[in-house]
Every structure is written in C-alpha cells, then in structure tokens.
C-alpha cells in the first residue's frame, strides 16, 4: 500500500489531526471506531480472496460464426 500522503504530512499536521479526532469523538469512542474499521478491512480482504478463488481463470474463447442463411 502506497502511503505517499504520510510523506507530505509533518509532525504538527499529525498532532493537529489527532487533536481534532479527540475533540470530535472523545477518547472512549476512537478505539471502537478503529476496531470497526479494522474488522471492515479484514472482511473486505477476505471477500476479495474468496472472490478470486471462486472465479476460474478465463482463457480466450474462440468465436464461433454461424453460417449465413439465405
């Protein structure tokens, strides 16, 4: 995962974002939010793996042409 945005943020930016999150949600709510986010990401990755395993690889199909009826 490319975390390019972390290279743009300085330490002061990160502290400001954390302070804003604490003000908005409070200290007790943030761990619940992060836990929900983690569970959601885990389920998403699991469903992506299941979808890839269930989908058989496709080979190029030959096109069959029907004879023209006159």
Q: Which residue has the higher pLDDT, 9 or 24?
A: 24
Q: Tell me: the pLDDT tens digits for 10-67?
A: 888 888 988 898 888 888 888 888 899 899 999 999 988 887 777 666 655 555 666 6
| Helix/strand/coil percentages in the chain, nearest 5 | 65, 0, 35
* pLDDT higher than 50, residue 1: no
Q: Any idea where the domains of the chain sit in the sequence? A: 29-54
* Cα–Cα distance measured from residue 54 to residue 35, given in angstroms and rounded to the nearest whole number: 28
DSSP symbol at 50: H
47-62: burial string, b at 16+ Cβ within 10 Å, e else: eeeeeeeeeeeeeeee
Q: pTM for the full model?
A: 0.46
């Amino acid at each position: 995962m490319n975390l390019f945005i972390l290279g743009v943020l300085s330490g002061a930016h990160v502290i400001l974002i954390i302070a804003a999150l604490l003000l908005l949600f409070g200290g007790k709510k943030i761990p619940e939010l992060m836990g929900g986010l983690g569970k959601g990401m885990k389920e998403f990755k699991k469903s992506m793996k299941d979808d890839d395993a269930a989908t058989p690889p496709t080979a190029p199909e030959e096109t069959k042409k029907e004879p023209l009826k006159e």
